[in-house]
Amino acid sequence: MERTTEELTGLLRSLVAKMKAYQHAQTVMYFDAATVAPPGSAEDRGKTLAVFSEVTYGLQTGEETGKLLSALRERTEELDPVTRREVSELWRDYERTKKIPMEEYVAYQVLLNEADAVWHKAKTESDWPAFEPYMEKIVAFNRKLAGWLAPEKKPYDALLDEYERGLTMEKCDAFFAVLRERLVPLIRQIAEKGKQPEDIFAGKDFPVEQQRKLSDWLMAAIGIDREYCAIGETEHPFTDGSSKHDVRITTHYYVNDPLSSLFSVVHEGGHALYELHVADGLQDTVLAGGVSMGIHESQSRFFENIIGRSRGFIRNLLPELRELFPAQMAGVTEEDLYRAANVARPSLIRTEADELTYSLHVMLRYELEKQLMDGSLAVADLPAAWNAKVKEYLGLDVPDDRSGVLQDSHWSGGAIGYFPSYALGSAYGAQLLAKMKESMDVDAVVASGDLTPVLDWLTERIWSKGSLYDPQVIFEQAAEAPFDPTYYTDYLIGKYSALYSL
Ligand SMILES: [Zn+2]
């Protein structure tokens, strides 16, 4: 007997509940692995993850799932818009994941668990040869993956689409060309003529215990509800969100550089805010959560740079810093702090790069990934190619692989094609700011210390929508215009020309 639509949606709900339960457990396990799990636990966790991967693969691609989704697809007009979108997203996943052979899928999850542990150690010891064989396997898998997913596309295009639906090398090339053309001359000008501010933190220690208190203040300042968001400490800061009721961010404290953790917390806090504000009606659906990496990064980079490095935010931050670090901050003025937070100077580490030179870090990773995927660059030659590009774009020599090719966790995590979303996100953020300014005095709101109007604007236009629409649709609805990277370059040129009196 044929099932009713109500029965089918009931089955869908229990399938989604199972999928989300496994995802939840895997997310928590990942966070645990990165924070407090002892190093020797990696192997056992690998076994657990292999079992989990098999189950989630089965849930996504099993015969029952296929039948259920097919039946629901025949009745889309009877479904409410949220369920309709869920069915279409799950069907997309079903078709996609089915193309990946299960043994390969499971083996890859196990490989990534191992690679992550090896990378952590290799980074600490600046030991590229230890990580190289894992990178070989990760690149090889991603090339195969691209072939399974979209044999008609160039491999790197297939991967870009995984992180930002619709993104291609053609679009990236055009975008980076605008950045290169408009920003590289400005960076040169600053290097030649711009007077760099004095380093106000030189020779001072900022105890980690006090920096932890600063993190609490920052999270409150940007409006994070700690009831649903925790903070941990890891080598590489990240955000994990299982649902709007369980979001975790991490940071890394450096005793001699309080700004590093400060801006990491505000960056990850931006990711967290997005996850925390998904509409209640999407909770328990597969649409609960940020829609894409590009849109996610647009939120994190918006908070880190546009809010966090603004005059108003710095003005409110200064009294807090003076209270937590009275001796270290003695004699530091608001102008000193503002300039320290906005120094534009080529540097080696992407996550600590300033707002202006940041996109060059992304561009070099994009170009290397492109070459790795088209086969014109061998993994063994990656460190040398990395160092050459750092020299070309940033004018710097890379002293060791820890500050070079081993610095990011993306590749060890299996993510090839992720990086462009950072630059794209930064550019989305600048265009959203321009739109926001049409209806709000953003500077005055930030200076008031109460970000509610900004949070409300972003909740309504982006956060609450979760994954209800494609990323490009969500962006264009929010910005009320197609994407235009010149908002970003204009914003940077305006800001840095004033800072460096150019
Ligand atoms: Zn981020």
Domains, the chain, ordered by start: 5-153 (no CATH), 169-499 (1.10.1370.30)
Separation between Cα atoms, residue 247 and residue 233, nearest integer Å:
14
Ligand 1 centroid from CA 303, angstroms: 10
Largest CA distance in the chain: 80
Separation between Cα atoms, residue 399 and residue 6, nearest integer Å:
63
Evaluate whether 269 touches 219 at the Cβ level (below 8 Å). yes
Separation between Cα atoms, residue 293 and residue 475, nearest integer Å:
12
Separation between Cα atoms, residue 233 and residue 321, nearest integer Å:
20
- Which of 86, 162, 164, 268 is an active site residue? 268
Ligand 1 centroid from CA 428, angstroms: 14
Ligand 1 centroid from CA 450, angstroms: 23
Separation between Cα atoms, residue 111 and residue 115, nearest integer Å:
6
β-strand partners of 233: 251
Long-range contacts (CB closer than 8 Å, 24 or more residues apart) made by 435-439: 435/478, 435/479, 435/480, 435/481
pLDDT of 195 reads 85
Ligand 1 centroid from CA 416, angstroms: 15
DSSP letters, 316-335, are HHHHHHHHHSHHHHTT--HH
Q: Which amino acid is at 397?
A: D
Within 8 A by CB and 6+ apart from 169, the residues are 154, 156, 157, 160, 370
pLDDT of 259 reads 95
Ligand 1 centroid from CA 419, angstroms: 10
Ligand 1 centroid from CA 425, angstroms: 9
Reading phi first (left if > 0) and then psi (alpha if -120 to 50, else beta), residue 233 is in beta
Burial class (CB in 10 A: 0-12, 13-18, 19+), 453: middle
pLDDT of 319 reads 98
- Intervals of the chain under pLDDT 70: 1
Q: How far is CA 257 from CA 108, 254, 329, 453, 466, in A?
A: 37, 5, 13, 31, 35
Around ion ligand 1, which residues have CB less than 5 A away? Answer: 300
pLDDT of 351 reads 83
Ligand 1 centroid from CA 78, angstroms: 38
Ligand 1 centroid from CA 300, angstroms: 6
Ligand 1 centroid from CA 361, angstroms: 14
Evaluate whether 258 touches 215 at the Cβ level (below 8 Å). no
Evaluate whether 298 touches 339 at the Cβ level (below 8 Å). no
pLDDT of 50 reads 87
Q: Is 268 among the residues known to form the active site?
A: yes
Evaluate whether 68 touches 15 at the Cβ level (below 8 Å). yes
Evaluate whether 364 touches 422 at the Cβ level (below 8 Å). no
Separation between Cα atoms, residue 12 and residue 285, nearest integer Å:
10
The pLDDT tens digits for 145-167 are: 999 999 999 999 999 999 999 99
Q: Which two tokens stand for residue 38?
A: 């002892």
Closest CA to 35 of 219, 272, 236, 209: 236
pLDDT of 59 reads 96
Rg of the chain over CA atoms, in angstroms? 23
Evaluate whether 126 touches 401 at the Cβ level (below 8 Å). yes
Evaluate whether 298 touches 254 at the Cβ level (below 8 Å). no
